[in-house]
Amino acid sequence: EVQLLESGGGLVQPGGSLRLSCAASGFTFSVYTMTWVRQAPGQGLEWVSTIRGSGGVTYYADSVKGRFTISRDDSNNMLFLQMNSLRAEDTAVYYCAKGETDWGQGTLVIVSS
């Protein structure tokens, strides 16, 4: 059974940093494309970033490019999202996803002073 468990969310001040983690199990993590998607309170879904398996080519939404970094540790089946220079508009639930088929439960990030 595929399991994805996000962690690392919380309250952070504007301009601060946070690192989200996603622990994966139940599949061969290294070969799969992994994605972060976020959802601001009461809003729709927004694609944030994707990292391909077996090589790790990365892609970012314009809204986070230069501030967020996606990475993976294939030896430990972990996905990460390093978020720097956080803004109020980054406040959202952040989901990690394996392709399109499997999603974690999400972790809430609140950027506020």
Point out which residues bind other proteins (CB under 8 A): 35, 37, 44-47, 50, 59-62, 95, 100-101, 103-106
For other proteins, the closer of residues 29 and 95 by Cβ is: 95
Distance in Å, CB of 52 to other proteins, minimum: 11
Distance in Å, CB of 59 to other proteins, minimum: 4
**CA of 40: how far to CAs of 45, 48, 91, 105, 108, in Å?**
8, 12, 6, 15, 9
| Rounded Cα–Cα distance for residues 27 and 59 (Å) | 23
